[in-house]
Amino acid sequence: MVKTFMDGTPLRQRCRVVRVWIWSIVLFAGVGAVFLDNAWAQRYAAIADPDSPEGQFLELIELQSAAPKRLALIEQFTQRYPKHKAVSWAFEQLQGAAFKAGDWDRALQFGEKLSQLNPNDIETAQTNRKVAEAKGDPVTAKLWSDYITLVAQRILVSPPPKDPELLEQWKTQMVIAGQYSAHDEYGLYKKALESADPRQQIKLLDELLRRNPDTTYLPQTLVIYLNAYRAVGDQRNAVNTGERLLKLDPNNEDALLVCAQAYLQRGSASEKVLAYSARIVELMQTKRKPEGVSQHEWDRKKMVYSGTAYWMSGNTYIAQNRFGQADGALRAALPLLRQSEQSVASVLFYLGWANYKLENYAEAVRFYKQCAAFSGQFQDQAIKNLGVIRSEHGIQD
């Protein structure tokens, strides 16, 4: 009578299966310490019918005491039985041994075959990238890094399997894929943040959003985008980014300023210019100093941003023939923009015009005289306007 387990498996068969599987774990137990990314966990088992040629070959491997002979037989197994399910186990063992020996070419060769057999095995893909890095092959490392990203994205959108055993494996893969995706996104974000080249920043952030448009770093990413586009003079993308950022963070003063300035230059969306400018002024009066910014830098930013916001409001009011409101906004801007002669000249020029339209001719003359003292684009016109006012209204200095 043949003894069996409760599930009906012959005792002899079950013993051989379990014995081979346990041996596969012990044989390369020492390899795990070498791996940092995936700890070289045993993921595949050498299970086969003990009465089949494959099972008998696996038992022959088990009986070998010399590691070189075992490895040679394992490699022969992959060549003789390339379609058997235990081949994944074999390639896993071969890659582990090659990695431990520092044989990067063979480690990568076995890892590539293992990935072909198991396209969603993100741990093997991570190992392959690490092997390429250890080999000093940045091109291959980049290819595997991109492949890992694709695998992670594929896993993250995959539905849970109905098979309970596959479900546990899926859950493990989901955790690894999520961790990798987050780490990968942070790496791109950090590189962009630390880069001094705005074009490189844009390139890195494009890649980040290509991989995950809903990344957790989206608000910070948009801020870097905004400043990078400003630095390269790409106003259209700067404004688009600014408006997108304002949907996530309505109190971002940089986005408010960029968008308001763009609309003012276009001569469009005047109500947005006024609303954004008013919001900037309010924020600069109430917002706390951000961490990592010195008090001197923050005070200067508050002054410049507030002054610019008042200036934009004044220009908008003039375009709308609301000269009283323009006069008030421009007077508020004047002391805040003293560090830039051209900004001061601009404010004085438009103050002269607003007061001329309000028939405050003495004030208009005063502002135009101050404006004429600054060389630049407003000087000649300020002198002409002075002559007109004096001639029309007989105002003398």
Rama region for 114: left / alpha / beta (φ>0; ψ in -120 to 50; rest)? alpha
* CATH 1.25.40 domain residues, the chain: 11-157
For residue 45, pLDDT over 70 is answered with yes
**Whole-number Å distance between alpha carbons of 384 and 368:** 9
**Whole-number Å distance between alpha carbons of 154 and 143:** 17
For residue 9, pLDDT over 50 is answered with no
Element (H, E) at 333: helix 323-333
Residues 262, 243 contacting (CB under 8 angstroms)? no
3-state secondary structure (DSSP) of residue 4:
strand
Q: What is the DSSP letter of 221?
A: H
Residue 134: CB partners within 8 Å, gap ≥ 6? 102, 104
* pLDDT given for residue 320 in this prediction: 94
- pLDDT tier for residue 13 given thresholds of 50, 70 and 90: very low
pLDDT tens digits along 195-237: 899 999 999 899 888 878 888 788 889 989 999 998 998 988 9
What is the average per-residue pLDDT within 177-186?
65
pLDDT tens digits along 247-271: 999 999 999 999 999 899 888 779 9
Tell me how many helices (H) and strands (E) the chain has: 18, 0
**Whole-number Å distance between alpha carbons of 37 and 180:** 10
Closest CA to 111 of 67, 156, 80, 141: 141
| pTM for this prediction | 0.57
**Whole-number Å distance between alpha carbons of 101 and 107:** 9
Instruction: Find tokens 């801007």 and name the residue.
Output: 333
Closest CA to 362 of 386, 327, 331, 334: 386
Q: What CATH code would you report for 11-157?
A: 1.25.40
Intra-chain end-to-end CA distance of the chain, in Å: 127
pLDDT tens digits along 267-277: 877 999 999 99
Q: What is the DSSP letter of 10?
A: B
- pLDDT tier for residue 29 given thresholds of 50, 70 and 90: very low
* pLDDT given for residue 178 in this prediction: 62
For residue 153, pLDDT over 50 is answered with yes
Residues 173, 122 contacting (CB under 8 angstroms)? yes
- pLDDT tier for residue 180 given thresholds of 50, 70 and 90: low
Residue bearing the bigger pLDDT, 37 or 382:
382
